[in-house]
Amino acid sequence: MRLILLGPPGAGKGTQAQRLISKYGIIQLSTGDMLRAAVAAGSAVGLRAKAIMDRGKLVPDEVVVAIVADRIDQPDARRGIVLDGFPRTVAQAEALDRLLSERSLKLDAVIELRVDEGILLKRIEKRVAEMTARGEKLRSDDNPEVLKGRLAAYRAQTAPLANYYAAKGLLRAVDGMAPIDEVTAAIDAILAKAMAGKAARRGGKPAKAARAKGRGGKRRAAKAAKRAKAPARRGRATGSKRGKAARAGRLKNKAGMRKSGSRRRLTKAR
């Protein structure tokens, strides 16, 4: 199973992705988490991404596409992936299409968590205030100002992906403002339908292909048998010695049958 969770920051993609990985045994591929890990590790990618992330802007496409390509090639990604926070631009979506088709893989669904941005912003402001009051550590981009920038980036660069995937017939929307369990149930229902459709397509195709192969196989076998029976006739066409001998034999038989009247008797018996 391969799916994308689409939605603005704070829509609950991470929470739902966690539930999906425990339910389906797939991996979560969160470019935000991977970039934060790169920043913490002080890697070249991290150094390049940090300042951009702190401003709430998008890291260049080629950077995130490269980390996604690496991750989907790892063995644990074979069972499935839930992409969270990627793709974020149409160019990233196109790159993902290429990555998947080069590996003969397909997306099963793109689930958009639809939320009211005004309410979302208030929720996040409240959460940030509560965490600050408790003295908990915040993400460096988890403050209302940066969040506004992240929402603007989502609207301008990521929201168009809904149309991109709708045109491919992959987009399904759920109400991201509903209670978490209800969102999970809605996602489960979408995935159950998508996977049933996939199983039906898989079940149908090989059966059909096998039938066609069977028919072709029989035809091929009949032709081969005919060919095996026909060396004498082919010989006649080419005028080979074997063909001549066979023809002579047949003529001898015919003459013999005429003599004994067996040919007439045979005709009568038919």
Residues marked as catalytic = 13, 88, 127, 139, 150
* Residue 71 in the binding site for ligand AMP (CB under 6 A): no
Q: Is 52 in the site for ligand AMP (CB under 6 A)?
A: yes
9 is a contact residue toward ligand AMP (CB under 6 A): yes
Contact positions with ligand AMP (CB under 6 A) in 117-146: 141
Instruction: Look at the block and give the residue holding tokens 């080069």.
Output: 102
Using CB under 6 A, pick the residue from 16, 28, 31, 184 that binds ligand AMP. 31
CB of 10 to ligand AMP, least distance (A): 8
Q: What is the largest CA-CA distance in the chain?
A: 118
CB of 101 to ligand AMP, least distance (A): 19
Measured from the CB atom, is 89 or 184 closer to ligand AMP?
A: 89
The residue among 55 and 236 lying less far from ligand AMP, judged by its C-beta, is: 55
Residue in 4, 11, 16, 32 binding ligand AMP, rule: CB under 6 A: 32
- CA 37 from chain center: how many Å? 27
Q: Which is nearer to ligand AMP, 142 or 188 (CB)?
A: 142
| Gap between the Cα atoms of 130 and 145, Å rounded | 17
Residue 195 to residue 20: CA distance in whole angstroms: 14
For ligand AMP, the binding residue among 4, 35, 115, 183 (CB under 6 A) is 35
Contact (CB, 8 A) for 113 and 176: yes
Q: Is 8 in the site for ligand AMP (CB under 6 A)?
A: no
16 counts as binding ligand AMP under rule CB under 6 A: no
Which one among 50, 71, 150, 172 touches ligand AMP, defined by CB under 6 A? Answer: 150
Answer yes or no whether residue 12 interacts with ligand AMP by CB under 6 A. Answer: no
Ranges within 155-194 binding ligand AMP (CB under 6 A): none
**Is omega for the bond preceding 87 within 30 degrees of 0, making it cis?**
yes
11 binds ligand AMP (CB under 6 A): no
Residues of this chain that bind ligand AMP (CB under 6 A): 9, 31-32, 35, 52-53, 56-59, 64, 85-86, 88, 92, 141, 150
